[in-house]
A and B are shown apart, each in its own frame.
Chain A
């Protein structure tokens, strides 16, 4: 038996890197997706958040039948709401998305109130429209506040303490630090950080494996003294280097976007500075190493580039769906999720974005399984390459 040669592994890794770097199309696609996709999406979302905040600050509320409740209108105007006359056919216009919300005051409002009955106002909106949500919530909150104030006044007039009617005081204390708000933006940055680590090396991994087989350069390579494990390791290292590059480019894209792009003037709900950049890299290291190992294994199993590609796209789908599921999970995440690759990294990334330091124990936990899987995948690749079927094409 021969021992592994570091020099040969380095030779293989270097050759694969040169080969990939000269593949202009692959490199272009990699850089475009890495630079453009994440940061561009981020800008869009931030602008959306800004316009929401804008709407919430200056509510413009079309009102139908304002003459029926002059006191309510006066209250709203005191709260800086701009009252507009409601246009005709406003229900249709709300449905089309031209209006966010309309206040419709019942014609019998004055008469009902005079008789001691509750007056009716209708708030008309379409809650399925995300854009309208801020306006809707604010209008609703203002109407509730008006109702409370009115009721309190009545109780006082009758010599009853307002607490009788309002036994519960809700004091809200929002523990979110400035960074921990804006969960969608948070999700996006974490997700694209992960995404870069997952797809960054894909094209290169398939090219050095299935591509090598398809181009008929694998058979001669196997007649050299390079051992299967050396080939597996060298190819894996080359893909890892490329993957790391993709991650660094993506994170730099985030850093530059958040720092220099003309961002809307809402308080950006989190930081992505040098410290977060570094924490992201630390968290993503296990994936930067693991995913190429898995991709190389998939690539070796495919007899053609096409075959390997379709296998890999299935894998990528499974990986990328994990963070989405996690984001929509309502309960606190179970502890065992800290062992699951991708999930563990996603959780740690969101913590890093919230400005928390990374707990060493959980970090170690998130490294453990990927380390084992990486070693396992490399051994599987080596075993595949030492089988004669890799040359003869039979299975």
Chain B
């Protein structure tokens, strides 16, 4: 479970850019929680703080009760991160890319090999796994990056705009994979600026705007609260504008 309380982070020389401004949220185990917001709403910074890459200015965040600022190393062992930057090593094969991360997580030998095979199978990239990543399509690269993030079977999974650049078939495959992970009891936090995606995949939706939480709830709750007819109208109404969102 991921718990965030009053988390804040500013950038710039005098901290004039408030990227995240007092965000609180909870992401439960066995569920996909969606972070929806236009570009620049603070989604990436929030996920980076949870991934221990950026230190919060204020507030607290914990993964399964472990504070991200106090014990980042223990948090890293429990989380799988598909970050905004998701470059592969292009001269290594897909399998080698995944194996590297597995080894960094302390996995080795037959257990690691079996785990990689299972992931390759689930994601349907077995046939290309032993080719250099150089020749992969966008979708194939994304799948390898996801397999890499999941190689150590993390309890919590952070995904920053995972469907960016994916075609429809790959997007559908990814959705199926994420739903499966939630069914296994994992805690998934998923950011996107695509409404349909969040609506289709997430039980709970957290809407971010200008670094703050604008609204939280299930899709029907958000529609009801905004008094609008459709989810799209509800988002636009809650955010004040639909700028930066994709329907």
Chain A residues packing against B (C-beta within 8 Å): 1-2, 5, 7-8, 11-12, 15, 18-19, 22-23, 212, 215-227, 388, 391-392, 394
Contact = CB atoms under 8 A, between A and B. Distances in A.
Given A15-B100, A219-B53, 8 more contacts: A5-B106, A11-B100, A19-B91, A19-B92, A22-B91, A219-B83, A219-B84, A388-B53
B113 interface: no
A11 B82 CA distance: 21
A12 B105 CA distance: 12
B53 A225 contact: no
21 contacts: A2-B73, A5-B106, A7-B103, A8-B103, A11-B104, A15-B92, A215-B89, A215-B90, A217-B87, A219-B83, A219-B85, A219-B86, A220-B81, A220-B87, A221-B104, A223-B52, A223-B81, A224-B76, A225-B73, A225-B76, A225-B77
Contacts of B35: none
Q: Give the most central of A12, A22, A227, A388: most B CB within 10 Å.
A: A388
A12 to B, nearest CB: 7
Nearest to B148: A220
B89 A217 contact: yes
A391 B55 CA distance: 11
Contacts of A221: 104
Contacts of A11: 100, 103-104
A354 B54 CA distance: 56
Contact of B104 (A18, A212, A224, A388): A224
B83 A223 contact: yes
Contacts of A216: 85-87
Contacts of B89: 15, 19, 215, 217
Nearest to A220: B83
Nearest to A388: B54
Given A2-B73, A225-B76, A388-B55, A218 B85 contact: yes
B145 interface: yes
B88 interface: yes
B104 A220 contact: no
Contacts of B79: 223
B85 A8 contact: no
B23 interface: no
Contacts of A388: 48, 53-55
Interface string B86-123: 11111110001000110111100000000000000000
A310 B11 CA distance: 28
B223 interface: no
B83 A224 contact: no
Nearest to A16: B89
A220 B149 contact: yes
B205 interface: no
B11 A227 contact: no
Contacts of B91: 19, 22-23
A8 B148 contact: no
A302 B101 CA distance: 24
Given A220-B85, A220-B87, A224-B105, A391 B73 contact: no
Interface string B50-85: 011111000000000000000001001101011111
A7 B112 CA distance: 15
A11 B88 CA distance: 17
Nearest to B44: A392
Contacts of B12: 394
B44 to A, nearest CB: 9
Nearest to B51: A223
Interface string B202-244: 0000000000000000000000000000000000000000000
A216 B53 CA distance: 14
Contacts of A23: 91
B157 to A, nearest CB: 11
Given A217-B87, A225-B76, A8 B53 contact: no
Nearest to A390: B53
A222 B82 CA distance: 12
A103 B109 CA distance: 84
Nearest to A2: B73
B208 to A, nearest CB: 18
A5 to B, nearest CB: 8
A217 B89 CA distance: 7
Contacts of B84: 219
Given A15-B100, A388-B54, A215 B76 contact: no
Contacts of B96: 15, 18
